[in-house]
Each structure stands twice: as C-alpha cells, then as structure tokens.
C-alpha cells in the first residue's frame, strides 16, 4: 500500500512541478533593450531583455560594459565575475549579436542595467528567430457554416467526443 501511495504522491508532485514551470514561463517579463524607460520601471525585478549589441567596451579597471545600440540599458560584468566566461569577455564575445539576457534590473547613474555574472544568463538569438516567444494561437471554431451566400467561411466539422458510459450506482451504498 505504501508503494501505491508513494507513486501517487510522486505523480502528483511531478504534475505540480510541470504546472509551476508552465506558469513561470508565462509569467516571465520580456522587454526590448531599446525601451529603457520600461526596463527602468522594473527595477529590482527579474526580467528578460532582448536586443542587438553594439558599442560595447572594457574599462581600464577590467569591467565589461555591453551596450544595446542607442539604448541607455547595458550589461555590466565586473572583473571579479569574468572567470565563467571561458569563450571570451562579454564586451568582445557578444558584440554585434542578438541576445536575450535574464537577470534582475538595477539602476546605476540613472541608467538601467543587469549585472552579468554567468554565460547561462545569455541566450544568443538567431537573426530570424521570433522573439519574445509567443504562445501558439488557439484555433477557434467558425461561428457560421459555409453557404452559397457566404462561401468565404469554410465549414469545419468538429467531431463530438464519444459519451463515456457511467458506471451503475448502487443506491443502498449511499442511503441506509
């Protein structure tokens, strides 16, 4: 009996984890790097910012600044955080690329930024990739069928779900 209960508990926990992951994916906030005002309004919040990198630089102290076009938004990576970036420092590795960065927004000198501490925060996007990701639209059944007067509306026949037979009920079990 314990085995069935533990299997059921594991199944329920798995389903709850999947539901939480799906809800988390839908709850993510995607912001265009060009919209500095919208980004700044999310200070202290975890977001995903996407855009094309241009004009990045490295300061004399070793801090990397990754800029997004003419935007006020940038990524900052301090010299002490560069060890995980084995494929090159961010200011060089990401120059000219289309990125999506996940992190928490902070404001420094009235400009929004994300502190970049790991390459896992960065997704390099293909030029033709649709971003931000959108849920596939749900197909809707047409409200009217095709007719000679309205040939533009196709008739779509949705098969009805077969009725599931109900088990017999013994009233003596419920009424004593």
Query: Could you give all domains of the chain from N- to C-terminal order, each with its CATH number?
Result: 29-125 (2.40.50.140)
Q: Using CA atoms, how far apart are residues 170 and 176, in angstroms rounded to an integer?
A: 11
- Indicate whether 145 pLDDT > 60: no
For range 80-100, the mean pLDDT: 95
The b/e string for 5-26 (b: 16+ C-beta within 10 A; e otherwise) is: eeeeeeeeeeeeeeeeeeeeee
Q: Using CA atoms, how far apart are residues 100 and 32, in angstroms rounded to an integer?
A: 9
Alpha-carbon dihedral 35, 81, 25, 13, rounded to 10 degrees: -160
Q: Using CA atoms, how far apart are residues 47 and 17, in angstroms rounded to an integer?
A: 21
Residue 28: the pLDDT is: 87
Q: How far is CA 76 from the centre of its chain?
A: 22
Residue 142: the pLDDT is: 46
* Residue of 146 and 105 predicted with greater confidence: 105
Of the listed ranges 10-19, 44-53, 113-122, 139-148, the one predicted with least confidence: 139-148
- Nearest Cα residue to 102 out of 86, 85, 88, 119: 119
Residue 12: the pLDDT is: 60
Q: Assign 133 a pLDDT band (cuts: 50, 70, 90).
A: confident
Q: Assign 32 a pLDDT band (cuts: 50, 70, 90).
A: very high
Highest mean pLDDT among 1-15, 52-66, 131-145, 155-169: 52-66
Q: Using CA atoms, how far apart are residues 45 and 57, in angstroms rounded to an integer?
A: 26
Angle made by CA atoms 113, 129, 119, in degrees to the nearest 5: 40
For the question of whether the overall pTM of this predicted structure is more than 0.85, the answer is no
For range 51-71, the mean pLDDT: 93
Residue 115: the pLDDT is: 97
Q: Whats the size of the chain, residue-wise? A: 176
Residue 68: the pLDDT is: 94
Residue 23: the pLDDT is: 47
- Indicate whether 146 pLDDT > 90: no
- Nearest Cα residue to 134 out of 19, 30, 21: 30
Neighbours of 39 (CB within 10 A): 26
Residue 111: the pLDDT is: 94
For range 46-75, the mean pLDDT: 94
């Amino acid at each position: 009996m314990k085995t069935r209960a533990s299997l059921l508990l594991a199944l329920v926990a798995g389903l709850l984890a999947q539901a939480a992951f799906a809800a988390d994916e839908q709850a993510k906030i995607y912001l265009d790097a060009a919209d500095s005002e919208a980004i700044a309004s999310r200070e202290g919040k975890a977001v995903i910012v996407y855009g094309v990198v241009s004009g990045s630089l490295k300061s004399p102290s070793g801090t990397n600044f990754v800029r997004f076009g003419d935007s006020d938004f940038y990524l900052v990576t301090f010299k002490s955080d560069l060890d995980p970036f084995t494929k090159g420092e961010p200011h060089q590795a990401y120059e000219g690329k289309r990125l999506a960065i996940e992190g928490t927004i902070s404001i420094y000198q009235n400009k929004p930024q994300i502190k970049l501490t790991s390459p896992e925060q960065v997704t390099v996007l293909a030029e033709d990739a649709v971003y931000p990701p959108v849920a596939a639209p749900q197909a809707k059944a047409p409200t009217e069928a095709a007719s000679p007067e309205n040939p533009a509306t196709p008739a779509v026949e949705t098969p009805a779900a077969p009725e599931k037979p109900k088990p017999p009920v013994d009233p003596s079990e419920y009424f004593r």
